[in-house]
Amino acid sequence: MTIGKVSAIIVLISTIIGILANIAGITEFVLKMRDRYGPGSAQTSEISEEEPGKKQTDDIKRNVYSIDENGKITFVQGTEIVLRVKNNVGLVTTDSRGYLQGKGSEINSDSIYQIHNTPDDYSGLQGVYGFVRVAADEDNAPVYENADEIQSWECFEFFKHNEYVYIKSQANDKYITCVLDEEGDRLCARGEEVQEWELFSVYIRDKKKWKNIFTDEKMEF
């Protein structure tokens, strides 16, 4: 066998080996693509893509508030909430004199309060006129909005009660109540115990609506 023939055979064998290597590489690539995008992987891929959205819209409890063993609710710093009185279903809103009342029917800037947490685990509420405070040294301890900073007068605790919350004031250890038929259904920190008058629904933003944190009810205003 001549040297030329030997060289040709060697070249042919090398070419065949190269083709087989390329086929193996292509096969491996196809298998990887099938594993990644095939029918069996569709569910995993879909969950992975939608998970960030679910955390924001569906998993409200984990992302907006927590509840301890005593039922105390701690909201995420900066959460905006709307409160509605259980007894007369009026929205809590700040009137022209700064007092909080439970008679609103439309959500606007006067009915939205932002949560500010304190280092000692209390919650402050900030509205358009300032922080909400309790006038503990006045008759009936009215609740109004005009403070520039959070001190004990502006500190509250939220507690879960079935699908409602009740709110306790640090200023006098009384519960916030809506005094129906008294001075425009004003809120006062004078409740000695939690009854129907001291219960509120809490709503948070859910896209373009407001959603009850304990139910699927949404505000339709």
Structure confidence by residue, pLDDT tens digits, 168-195: 999 999 999 998 877 779 999 999 999 9
Q: Quick check: pTM over 0.75?
A: no
Q: Which residues of 168-178 are buried (b: 16+ CB within 10 A; e: fewer)?
A: bbbbbebbbbb
The backbone torsions φ and ψ at residue 7, rounded to the nearest 5 degrees and listed phi first, read -65, -40
Residues 151, 78, 131, 161: is their CA dihedral positive or negative? negative
Could you tell me if 186 and 99 are in contact, meaning their C-beta atoms sit under 8 angstroms apart?
yes
- pLDDT, tens digit (0-9, with 9 covering 90-100), for 25-49: 544 544 443 443 343 333 322 322 3
Tell me the chain's radius of gyration from C-alpha atoms: 31
Pair 115, 78: CB distance under 8 Å: yes
A 10 A CB-CB count for 9 gives: 11
Whether the Cβ atoms of residue 91 and residue 99 lie closer than 8 Å to each other: no
Helix, strand or coil for residue 154? helix
Query: Poorest-confidence range of 3-17, 36-50, 68-82?
Result: 36-50
